[in-house]
Structure 1
Amino acid sequence: MKRLLSPQPATIGQPAGSTPEPDAAPASLRHGSDPKLVDDLETILSKEQVLARASDLIAFASDASPYRRIPSVVVQPRNEAELSALMRYASKHHRTITFRAAGTSLNGQAATEDILVDLKRYFTGMRVLNQGTQLWTKPGVILGDAQAVLARSGVMLGPDPGSTAVATIGGVLANNAGGMRCSVDRDSYHSVASMRVVLPSGNVIDTGESDAAFQAKEPALHAELLRIRDEIRNDEALCQLLKKKFSIRNTNGIRLDAFIDEETPVRILNKLMVSSEGIFGAITEATINTVPLPKHKAMAWVMLPDLRDAAQFVAPIMQAGALACELLVAPVLQKAVGNFPAADPAWADLPTKAAALLVELGGRDEEALEACISATTEALEGAELLSPLNFERSEAAMRGAWQIRNGLFGLLGSNRPQGTAMITEDVCFPPEQVGDGAADLLDLLAEFGYPEMVMGHAAFGNLHFFLLPNLAQEEDRAQYAEFLDRMSAIVIDKYQGSLKAEHGTGVNMAPFLLREWGERAWELMWDVKRAIDPLGILAPNIKLTRNQHLHLEHFKSLPKVEDEINDCVECGFCEPVCPSRQVTITPRQRIVLRREMARQAPSSPLLATLQEQFQYDGIDMCAADGSCAIACPVSIDTGKVMKQFRNAQASPIAAKTALRGAKKWAVVEQLVRGGLVSAKVLGASTLDMAARIGRNVINPDVLPSVPGPLPLPAQALPHTTREGATAVYFPACINRMFGNSAQASPDHLPLPHAIVELGRRAGVPVWIPEDVAGDCCGTPWSSKGYKEGFEYQARTLALDLLRWSDEGQIPVIVDAASCTHGMITQMQEVLEPSLRTRLEAVEILDVVEWLHRSVIEHLPIVEDFGRIAVHPTCSVQHMQQAEMLLAVANRCGNAVVPDGAGCCGSAGDRVMLHPELSQSATMQEAESLKAGNFDAFVASNRTCEMGLEMVCGEVFEHVAVLLERASRPVVSP
């Protein structure tokens, strides 16, 4: 039965100007996976672990590469036993398996047309071992999360790719990813101590156990690895080739040097698994050696006249003790100007042939850092610098510099012509020849009309550049193929370099393995593959192929979609921060699905199916908080498009009702407070039962549930006076309706009372206007797509802010972070130009910034509240106030941001409309809260505090409420 007031999925239509594409998914896909295959897999896994709908298959068909292959089914095993059963099923039924984790790989190594196994969903968990010298981890752990945990012990993992914030450790191991500071001796191949692996046979091997145990489980494989070891060792020319090729970065091919570096087959297998890209088995656990993390750092931009001049200083800088030395040519830096806050405007006028080195230095103490700075300065004494050498030590400056370096991939991709792919090449030259190699690459790029932009890890000879072909056009495909041939000649024949340094082989470079390695080594790689995977069930054609045109097949089209999301390069950086990532889909997958809708014909039955499945997965479950824009290299806010869809689906009756509610919002406030009084009388269980019954009849996106304890009704606002006030205090409507948690101690002041009292104590009194009732920032209407209601509230509040502040004579403080952010950004967008200009004169501050700027230094602290869990909300992150929030909380005790703290999914009332969103979004944070032995819990947004209490069970309060108690004068008895 269709619920009342349910939206019509088809109303989102297709993106404007859509035309059918040749690579559109077939109409038959509307039925999803083969029912027989699904039935078989559901005997191994639970139903929710088998993703078989059309939208599931398409969502997982794309990754960060230019390729697309639609899997037959997607499965999410929970443990080794289920993985073993999947391996045996594939062997028995002649199926193939390909593994995927974060989907950030750039060469197509995580795509298949058969069974796709997601190792990110359930294979999580890590522990720091042996005083920080090692990390035990599962493959689904995000590398950035691991690095954050290890940093507390003063150590880190060697690999630090630009995708650290999203890539999983499983992917880092499988690709032998490098990064800015990762020397060859610190990469995964050299730092992995042991691992557990599920082989194609289904056997689980622990490479930390004895060789005899391995031989007992896999006698034939054990014997074959010994045979290959001896064959390689008896070929001196081959041994020399392997040592030379792997003395620099090289992920193009199988690590045959494992047969030289290790003696026993089990240890050889341990090394072979690194850089294997899933063709040998699934890594389910790994123990990895760490390296010291310098406690003191500094960075500098070294600007030089040309590329070769810059390159000649790389070795001296590294010898002086630099941690990293990145090379960027002038056109790259010019692109950064205006797109990154830390980009120097002077870069816009750099000579075209200029180049820069981004240098990072580090030391165990201040003295060591000073010595490194002196040595680096000395190394550059003879340089013709285009700007003075300046070593920055502030965290902000260093963070800004690396944001430029890591964000250039997305920036360049966002500026590409419509319909073109963005292909990132990744080559390695002998480090001493990096300048000459880079110059040759620039000449080649110019000849083919590709962007003349080269950058990379100069210290290791590893360079990246970008190609922008329209792969839907035969001419562009032919040009791309010719370019790769010419590039191979430069890298392999002229410099004896590597065609892939850190991004893996995938399908993109698999046809070039024979050329790079020669027939002898190439056939030995096939021998290893046949030994470990005799039936060929794992990752066919990935890394090893006999199809010399494989890299020119299965390109994905990139049809035009909504402007707000059209620049997406499908890198996946948004995924770890999305609150719906574990319950439905992510921002990248929303865009991937929207692009498939654009590929389809208007009459396609698959289009209708995708729209229907997208309703809940994509639209209803989007928190629309913009957290994806924070993580995205080009600030794409997918939530904006979801709000557009909600607006398109809003019926005239609903829109009219929403506008009426906006005009009568003061009455709504009274009704909510009265409802909370009734809830206290009737009990939450009674209301929950009534809500459940109602939600079976009415669209759940309209009628809230009661998923947890309800707060008390807000008390009357405290009395204040305009005279002498240093700021207007606008209590957000959420704080005029909802009071403290019912579980809070009675001595906790309501938030408005606490803020007024803090202002009085600090000598900066605030004034609450008498007529604030009914005013709202408009976010409740904006998030649901009710444009008219939003515009009404925005205009009403803007006029009141001007009147209250006397046209900006005194600032306005707001006590809910999401409301502050909405007033600063979204509200401005819908005002008429003249009113917008007037409102710009009003300084709008979040109360956290006000506390940090004007209050905390004037308050004596009388009580320490111990260990405090701090939840920086999405809006706090948007406004870049997380450090301020921590500073305020630290006045009250020891403030800590729990592991996994991100968007809580509350999104205003969404926690009551879809509690499953918040429950999923906060899973990791909830575990951290339980294990953290916290004494207090704070945030700065009432709906987030309520949502966190509902799903985590802890009483969160605004940091101002805690600060009031911490600074409350002791009353003498």
Structure 2
Amino acid sequence: MLTGKYRDFYRRIKTTIPPERLVIDPLRTIAYGTDASFYRLVPKIVINVENEIEVRRVLREAGRLELPVTFRAAGTSLSGQAITDSILVRLGRGWDDYRVLDRAGKIRLQPGMIGSHANRILAEFDRKIGPDPASIDSAKIGGILANNASGMCCGVEQNSYRTLDAMRIVLADGTVVDTGDDKSRAAFGRSHGQILEGLADLRRQVLADPELAERIRYKFKIKNTTGYSLNALVDFDDPFEIMEHLMVGSEGTLGFVSEVVYRTVVEHRHKASSLMFFPDIRTACEAVMLLKAQPVAAAELMDRASLASVTGQPGMPDFLGELGPEVTSILVETRAETAQALAAQIDGIKAALAGVSTVRLIEFTAIPAEFAQLWKIRKGLFPAVGAVRRTGTTVIIEDVAFPIEHLADATIDLRELLLRHRYTEAIIFGHALAGNLHFVFTQDFSTQAEVVRYRDFMAEVVRLVLDKYHGSLKAEHGTGRNMAPFVEKEWGEAAFALMRAIKRLFDPGNMLNPGVILNSDLEAHIKNLKPLPPTHELVDKCIECGFCEPICPSRDLTFTPRQRIAGRREISRRMTGAAGEAPLRRLVRSYRYQGMDTCAADGLCSTLCPVGIDTGKMIKALREEAHGPLADAIANWTADHFAGVARTAAATLNTVDRLHRLTGTPLMETVAEVAHKGTAGLVPQWNRALPTGAPKVAVAGQTAVQSLAVVYFPSCASRAMGGPDREESDRRGLPQQTLSVLGKANCTVILPDNLEALCCGQAFESKGFRLQADRKAGELNEALLRASQDGAIPILCDTSPCLMRMRATLDRRLRLYEPVEFVLDILKDRLRFTRKEATIALHATCSTRKMGLDAKLKELALLCATEVVVPEDIYCCGFAGDRGLNFPELNASALHGLADQVHGCQAGYSTSKTCEIGLSLHGRIPYRSIFTLVDEVTTSLNP
């Protein structure tokens, strides 16, 4: 319940921003307030803004009431810079617009664009943005710029500060200035001349103090994100350029950047990487000094503990476990415009290192799949430590930089310091060419003694970095709350006074993200520490990094996987007796919809999670726990009478279709919506894309020459819902179309006995009925073993999600194929393909992606049609079996923007009937099985 100024603010702001984007309930403020750092504050209000006008209104209303405001992009920052106990402003939809400028020499981006998506846009021009943080697949441009994030290949020459061309800024009072627009600059000069004059005066002060100016220049010769970008005061004389460069790395404490123009950098077509091994850290660091003079784009140092943390992971060499205790690795990448130039560079690098002692021969690979795997492992070092930590502890990554000539000594000293403070599991790795080291360790904050241990350790780290080696306490992760108490220690009194003056100039009321960068509390770094109580064994290793979020179908509707876990952790924490907080019942009740009902449980999150956590499995387990005796009885009855249930479902669809023909679509949609909402979701939401029931599956005996025996298992979804919708001219069902393809390929088709009663269990498992799902899988297993002669005959299932579950649960002897694999691997040489002149759309289901078949789906589609469109950023469709009928808003949110991307396509194709329903509805084109397309464009080679 809001009180005082926050209640007044809420009343004012809801006249501009819809209430559904103003979050005040306890569960969602906790979940949305969580970021990747080890700090936690719970916001009073979370606002999802969708445009600049809303940002300006929030700032003006908050300013009138003197309420702090913090901005959040992806929440992947690690130093506590994106949390608040006041107003949290998150980027909603509408912040991912872009324009490619000057023949791709520049790109204008909004802050909601994910970094790797910007690179995808630029890829056809062989360009990219300069910053390349390890979180680039999740981090958004707003955060990348606000933290001056760099990365493995970026160094100090290609970060946001160095590649910035212009930006559009919203200041604390709501004023907007576009530094790339002369009209905007002139208007700002008239209205806010005091800021420009203040910046010019600060520059004069710096230049009048040669010692201070030189210190600033020295501090930025290596990576440094501690404090503000004071180099702007010595690098530029135009106050607008000073202003925009001060915004870089300011962590939302000086203003909100609503657009940025980057100068792009070259993305070389030819790359090669080598994982080099040296006998110890000192030898490895000596090699780095030699590599710095070579055409090396990146050199990532990994100590022995780092290598141990990834030993046994896919793609890593088998010999890692046999290496000596001091062996240190460097992962090197070199790039060139041509293959010949690349080969010459590799030879040059090897020659430069010829006199350095190595543990193994230096070998490079230019095979993309191989070097991509090496870099994937490197990016996963931080979470790898988190995955093996003791439950209840947090994983901390610190980020320092040293002058490269001191890298060896500093690394050795850092290792000794970690061991002295009993952080025996710690790993050290980093961007060696920039002298930038990360060290990762686990920490228990549940006792005061442990908090003191961390405090004392950090005090020694500060002395080591600053007093002994004159380095940077934060090289690329930003100051946040983590290093705010040490900014003055690192910079000195004069430079710190400049930072305070800059803050006063832009934010005199200290309204923007207070406590970040500048904080007078010398113990701020050990306060507001995030609790990580155990909540479920399937997700307890989650470090809340947020890497999973971009692929989640409910990310713009309710919770992401990270937020589902954070919400459950809070519920678990309060179960242990946290008094004086929101009632536990309220959190549990809210979690039912936010966390459980609207989770597609597709498991795609595990493909982006560095430690492979499948949050969907936790949700299925929670659904199972929530079932009562009645629900179990219904599930058992359904499993026992499955043939009748499937026939009833098909008949119901046919009846509803006849009703649809009689009443028309508008009336049918109105009645269906009223029924769905009036029964609080008990009645599923009918939609115009629902198909009819499929005819009964039957096959005739076949005696074709060169016949191939095939066991065909049409999924229960295909049998019950595999008929055409009312707009289709082909009135056959999916099983009949599949049989047609098999017939053209001269296949002898075998159907399993008692087919109508068979189910893989997917429909049960997704709802949390695990026992019933496994029982149905057992029945199917026996039937398929009989039909396939114990696996001698290949088995085709026409639905990808069912096939994936079959592979996970059935007898390993069974040779199981989903549609794409079966056509390409078995049928392609038995059919004649005639490509149709058409533009078609494709949707790779979650299971198709998880089985690594999305590229093969496109390969098959290109055999069938001249042009194939694969919509960007559409992952799981959110239909999730029947969830698209019971919670249609999930399907609508997951497929937001699909219709625009497939406009102009004649039809779309996929490998799951239920997914195709939602895709047809929201894509506004018919989506069909890929077998339908194959049937249309093929004839028999032996007619």
2:349 aligns to what? Answer: 376
**Secondary structure at 1:300 match in 2:** strand
**Secondary structure at 1:110 match in 2:** coil
Amino acid at match of 1:918: N
1:77 aligns with one of 33, 42, 49: 49
Q: Is contact 1:904-1:922 (8 Å) kept? A: yes
1:5 aligns to what? Answer: none
**Secondary structure at 1:205 match in 2:** strand
2:444 aligns to what? Answer: 470
1:657 aligns to what? Answer: 634
Q: 1:751 Cα shift?
A: 3.5
1:632 aligns to what? Answer: 609
2:329 aligns to what? Answer: 356
Q: How does 1:536-935 map to 2 (within 5 A)?
A: 536-601=510-575, 606-683=583-660, 688=669, 691-696=672-677, 698=679, 700=681, 702-717=682-697, 719=699, 721=701, 724-739=707-722, 741-742=724-725, 746=729, 750-762=733-745, 766-769=749-752, 771-825=754-808, 827=809, 839-857=811-829, 859-892=831-864, 893-930=866-903, 933-935=904-906
For the pair 1:461 / 2:439, whether they are aligned, the reply is no
Q: Is contact 2:27-2:567 (8 Å) kept? A: yes
- CA distance, structure 2, for counterparts of residue 734 and residue 40 of structure 1: 50
For the pair 1:192 / 2:172, whether they are aligned, the reply is no
- CA distance, structure 2, for counterparts of residue 954 and residue 160 of structure 1: 38
For residues 58-106 of structure 1, give each alpha carbon's deviation from its aligned partner in whole angstroms, at most 9, with x where no partner exists.
1123211110011111112222222222222222211111111111110
- CA distance, structure 2, for counterparts of residue 38 and residue 371 of structure 1: 64
Q: 1:351 Cα shift?
A: 0.9
For residues 465-516 of structure 1, give each alpha carbon's deviation from its aligned partner in whole angstroms, at most 9, with x where no partner exists.
1132211211111111111111112212222211111110000001111111
Distance 1:690 1:543, change over 3 A: same
User: Normalising to structure 2: TM-score of the pair?
Assistant: 0.95
Q: How does 1:251-400 map to 2 (within 5 A)?
A: 251-338=225-312, 340-400=313-373
Q: Which has the higher contact order (CA 8 A, sep 6+)?
A: 1
2:59 aligns with one of 78, 87, 90: 87
For the pair 1:950 / 2:924, whether they are aligned, the reply is no
Distance 1:430 1:74, change over 3 A: same
The aligned length equals 929
User: Normalising to structure 1: TM-score of the pair?
Assistant: 0.92
Distance 1:33 1:692, change over 3 A: farther
- CA distance, structure 2, for counterparts of residue 657 and residue 939 of structure 1: 32
Amino acid at match of 1:779: Q
Q: Is contact 2:695-2:723 (8 Å) kept? A: no
Distance 1:858 1:811, change over 3 A: closer
Distance 1:953 1:522, change over 3 A: same
- CA distance, structure 2, for counterparts of residue 193 and residue 421 of structure 1: 39
Q: Is contact 1:109-1:277 (8 Å) kept? A: yes
Amino acid at match of 1:783: S
Amino acid at match of 2:421: F
Q: 1:630 Cα shift?
A: 1.4
- CA distance, structure 2, for counterparts of residue 641 and residue 704 of structure 1: 25
**Secondary structure at 2:152 match in 1:** coil
- CA distance, structure 1, for counterparts of residue 731 and residue 406 of structure 2: 67
- CA distance, structure 1, for counterparts of residue 311 and residue 803 of structure 2: 29
- CA distance, structure 2, for counterparts of residue 254 and residue 494 of structure 1: 23
Q: 1:870 Cα shift?
A: 2.0
For the pair 1:445 / 2:445, whether they are aligned, the reply is no
- CA distance, structure 1, for counterparts of residue 835 and residue 911 of structure 2: 21
Q: Is contact 1:120-1:141 (8 Å) kept? A: no
**Secondary structure at 2:909 match in 1:** strand
Q: 1:714 Cα shift?
A: 1.7
- CA distance, structure 2, for counterparts of residue 632 and residue 244 of structure 1: 38
**Secondary structure at 2:757 match in 1:** coil
- CA distance, structure 1, for counterparts of residue 76 and residue 546 of structure 2: 6
- CA distance, structure 1, for counterparts of residue 855 and residue 709 of structure 2: 24
- CA distance, structure 1, for counterparts of residue 157 and residue 627 of structure 2: 58
Distance 1:947 1:696, change over 3 A: closer
Amino acid at match of 2:569: R
- CA distance, structure 2, for counterparts of residue 799 and residue 722 of structure 1: 25
1:508 aligns to what? Answer: 482
Q: How does 1:41-120 map to 2 (within 5 A)?
A: 41-120=13-92
Q: 1:111 Cα shift?
A: 0.9
Distance 1:132 1:101, change over 3 A: same
Q: Is contact 2:646-2:716 (8 Å) kept? A: yes
Q: 1:854 Cα shift?
A: 2.3
Amino acid at match of 2:676: R
1:418 aligns with one of 391, 397, 412: 391
For residues 174-219 of structure 1, give each alpha carbon's deviation from its aligned partner in whole angstroms, at most 9, with x where no partner exists.
0010111112111100112111110012110101123433311211
What is the RMSD computed on CA atoms of the aligned residues? 2.3
* Comparing 686-695 and 270-279, the one that deviates more: 686-695
Distance 1:43 1:348, change over 3 A: same
**Secondary structure at 1:127 match in 2:** strand
1:168 aligns to what? Answer: 140
- CA distance, structure 1, for counterparts of residue 520 and residue 326 of structure 2: 41
1:225 aligns with one of 154, 177, 199: 199
1:427 aligns to what? Answer: 400
Q: Is contact 1:300-1:391 (8 Å) kept? A: yes
Q: 1:770 Cα shift?
A: 5.4
Gaps of 5+ in 2: none
* Comparing 652-661 and 676-685, the one that deviates more: 676-685
- CA distance, structure 1, for counterparts of residue 55 and residue 6 of structure 2: 21
Q: Is contact 2:702-2:748 (8 Å) kept? A: no
2:150 aligns to what? Answer: 178
Identity, % of aligned pairs? 35
Q: Is contact 1:196-1:286 (8 Å) kept? A: yes
For residues 883-940 of structure 1, give each alpha carbon's deviation from its aligned partner in whole angstroms, at most 9, with x where no partner exists.
221221222234342111211101011111111001111114443223xx43442222
